[in-house]
Amino acid sequence: MKHDDNLAGEMQRRGVSRRAFLKFGSYVASLMALPPSAAEALAEGLAAARRQSVIWLSFQECTGCTESLTRSYAPTLENLIFDFISLDYHETLMAVSGEAAEKAREAAMAANRGKYIVVVDGSVPMKDGGVYATIGGRTNHQILEDTVKDAFAVVAVGTCAAFGGLPRANPNPTGAVPISTLVGGKPLINISGCPPIPEAMTGALAYVLSFGKLPELDHLGRPKAFFGETIHDRCYRRPFYERGEFADGFDDAGARQGFCLYKVGCKGPVTYNSCATMKWNGGVSFPIQSGHGCLGCSEPDFWDQGGFYRPLSTPLGAMGPALAGAALAGAALGVGAALSARSHQKSYLASAEKEKE
Amino acid sequence: MELLAFARGQALTFSVAVFVLGVLWRLVGVLALPAWRDFSPPREGSAPNWLSAIRAIFRKMIPHRTFLKEGMFTTVNGYVFHFGLGVVVFLFVPHILFLRSLFGVSWPGLPNGVITGVGALTAGSLLVALAYRLTSPVLKLISRPNDYLSWLLTFLPVATGLAATAHVGPRYETMLALHILSVCAFLIWFPFGKLMHAFLFVLSRGATGIRFGHRGAQL
Ligand code: SF4
Ligand code: SF4
């Protein structure tokens, strides 16, 4: 891949107009809620940028994140982002395999030392020396350390990479850890979601490409533009929640009327993501619109929040045994206290009798 | 999320267990005491014990004529926050879902706007109760740390619940966790402090009623 020309020149040769840059700039700016002036800066930045080398590493994951990105229904954005970046290594998407693939990764690293971006999907197993996931005989941990060493920034895509996700779910048999724990001080963006919204991935990448820095992040390292508000904050079913109108099941009268899904386990109130505003499949719909509560997929440990269908306000686990034990112990203590009072009373009465005599 | 998981998990289980243990301990301890021994015959014409007990329980719900005027404000304020707490605790849908998970029964709730309004009124009323306690010379004199702690642990769940709905303070999930944790503190303290009056007031008023009735006095 040639990297010595800037994007504007390269795009021009391929018939992409300056207008397309501007359009893309304003699209990304509006996605990320940037001021209008940023659209032009974004476009300028992109035009002046070199094709960004991206190395995509897949560890303990299901490829859903790649599926989400490549099957995005925003073809202009997706196409453009793939025009703007040079995806030098991606196991699922690259034609070559085996040693040739590894060579491509090494070559890209050597040619773009300190400048390439590492995108990671999947978590890294650390238990037993990391043997639970290896590629070409090397553990995920070794590959990550090696690749990240000379990177400019790391983007952890999907909840597995960002927070450990499914592999890290209780009892975490492989000792899976999120990418953030393994990259030292490297600049890192978490794009969580299971899978993440494609526009959140491309938007964040476009921002880095144009401005050469990370967008504003929340305390979990996620771009505020996409993870600044909860699903509940922007949910179109919110008026039902406020009025106390809830679906009690998935096919009752409430569900048919589109009432709020809180009672059937919706985690929207504690889930930060853009589903309710950007939606999926090119803005067609999102889970709550299709009648299912939010699972909280963009939050840490969403697999272990007591069950997808358990309302948010209920205890996480079964309390029964603990409460039964407490009730027995309490009753026993009560009986004990009463017995001791009775014996006190008895001896008091006996001594009073004696005194009378 | 971690704090919320802790609050919904270990903290809630532990505090509900302490609550159950403590309440049963005290209730069984009182109810299993030997029956009150009559050493003297009851005053002629005095009501049967059960009637004296019931009378006392209900009569005490409004102050005696003599104190009606001075007691009016504290009585009304007391009713406001007691009813307010009842409405907020038992008629807010997320709370009903919590109770349903424990007892398996549920009932209809009220719209959030009503709950928020009642919650704000309750918080205000609790603040007024505290202000009164701090300014009334008599009440101040007889107040103990137990009273202030019981007040605080009642006020905190109301305040944090309101803050969570109004999106003030930290992020919603943190506020929700703090709300649950404040309820945990309330539940743990409940059986051992003055909050236990929620159960014991019936017994203590009844016992007083019986004793007075026995002597022919009407409460
Ligand atoms: S469906 Fe979920 S996100 Fe929407 S209002 Fe109800 S609880 Fe909130
Ligand atoms: S609605 Fe919730 S569970 Fe569904 S994709 Fe969005 S964040 Fe994930």
Domain harbouring B119, CATH code: 1.20.950.20
A287 Cβ closer than 6 Å to some ligand 2 atom: yes
> How many inter-chain contacts (A to B, CB under 8 Å) are there?
136
Classify residue B43: in a domain, yes or no. Answer: no
Nearest CA-CA partner of A59 in A184, A151, A148, A153: A148
Residue type for position A129: G
* Sheet with strand A52-58: strands edge to edge: A85-90, A52-58, A117-121, A153-157, A188-191
Is pLDDT at A2 greater than 50 in this prediction?
A: no
**Gap from B18 CA to chain A (nearest CA, Å):** 7
Contact call for A244 and B93, based on CB within 8 A: yes
Alpha carbon A291 to chain centroid, angstroms: 22
Classify residue B46: in a domain, yes or no. Answer: no
Classify residue B48: in a domain, yes or no. Answer: no
Q: How many separate domains does chain B show?
A: 1
Classify residue B41: in a domain, yes or no. Answer: no
Classify residue B134: in a domain, yes or no. Answer: yes
Nearest Cβ partner for A313 among B14, B95, B111: B95
Nearest CA-CA partner of A164 in A295, A272, A265, A303: A303
Nearest CA-CA partner of A108 in A138, A151, A140: A151
In Å, how far are A146, A221, B111 from A105, measured between CA atoms? Answer: 11, 26, 58
Classify residue B210: in a domain, yes or no. Answer: yes
Residue nearest to atom 6 of ligand 1 (CA): A260
Classify residue B71: in a domain, yes or no. Answer: yes
Mean pLDDT (chain A) is 89
Residue nearest to atom 1 of ligand 2 (CA): A294
A124 Cβ closer than 6 Å to some ligand 1 atom: no
Is pLDDT at A22 greater than 90 in this prediction?
A: no
Rounded Cα–Cα distance for residues B71 and B73 (Å): 6
The answer regarding whether domain A7-220 maps to CATH 3.40.50.700 reads: yes
Same-fold call for A7-220 versus A238-356 = no
Q: Do A334 and B27 form a contact (C-beta atoms < 8 A)?
A: yes
Q: Which pLDDT score, from 0 to 100, does residue B150 have?
A: 98
pLDDT in tens, A324-347: 999 999 999 999 999 998 899 889
Rounded Cα–Cα distance for residues B5 and A5 (Å): 51
Rounded Cα–Cα distance for residues A305 and A310 (Å): 9
Is pLDDT at A4 greater than 60 in this prediction?
A: no
Range in A92-101, A106-115, B208-217 with the lowest mean pLDDT: A92-101
**Gap from A327 CA to chain B (nearest CA, Å):** 5
Contact call for B98 and A313, based on CB within 8 A: yes
In Å, how far are A141, B6, B178, B179 from B173, measured between CA atoms? Answer: 32, 12, 9, 10
CA A287 to ligand 1 center in whole angstroms? 11
The residue in chain B having the minimum alpha-carbon distance to the alpha carbon of residue A333 is B25
Burial of A258 (0-12, 13-18, 19+ CB in 10 A): middle
Find chain A residues with C-beta within 8 A of B8's C-beta.
Answer: 305-306, 314-316
Average pLDDT for A314-326: 92
Looking at the domain that runs over A238-356, which CATH code has it been given?
Answer: 4.10.480.10
Task: Give chain A's end-to-end CA distance (angstroms, integer).
Answer: 114
Domain limits of chain A? Answer: 7-220, 238-356
Rounded Cα–Cα distance for residues A200 and A202 (Å): 6
Classify residue B18: in a domain, yes or no. Answer: yes
Burial of A284 (0-12, 13-18, 19+ CB in 10 A): exposed
For B164, the domain range is: 2-24+64-214
**Gap from B59 CA to chain A (nearest CA, Å):** 29
Q: Do A313 and B97 form a contact (C-beta atoms < 8 A)?
A: yes
Contact call for A316 and B8, based on CB within 8 A: yes
The helix (run of H) or strand (run of E) holding residue A209 is helix A198-211
Bigger pLDDT: A30 vs A164: A164
User: Residue A72 has which token pair?
Assistant: 């995005």
The residue ranges of chain B whose pLDDT is under 70 are: 1, 219
Rounded Cα–Cα distance for residues A50 and A117 (Å): 13
pLDDT in tens, A42-84: 888 877 777 788 899 999 999 998 888 776 655 455 566 667 7
The residue in chain B having the minimum alpha-carbon distance to the alpha carbon of residue A314 is B98
ipTM value for the complex: 0.88
pLDDT in tens, A200-251: 888 888 888 888 899 999 999 999 999 999 999 999 999 999 999 999 999 9
Residue type for position A280: W
Nearest Cβ partner for A338 among B16, B21, B32: B32
User: Which pLDDT band holds residue A20 (cuts at 50, 70, 90)?
Assistant: confident
Is pLDDT at A94 greater than 90 in this prediction?
A: no
Q: Which pLDDT score, from 0 to 100, does residue A81 have?
A: 65
How much of chain A is helix, strand and coil, in % rounded to 5? Answer: 50, 15, 40
Rounded Cα–Cα distance for residues A54 and A116 (Å): 6
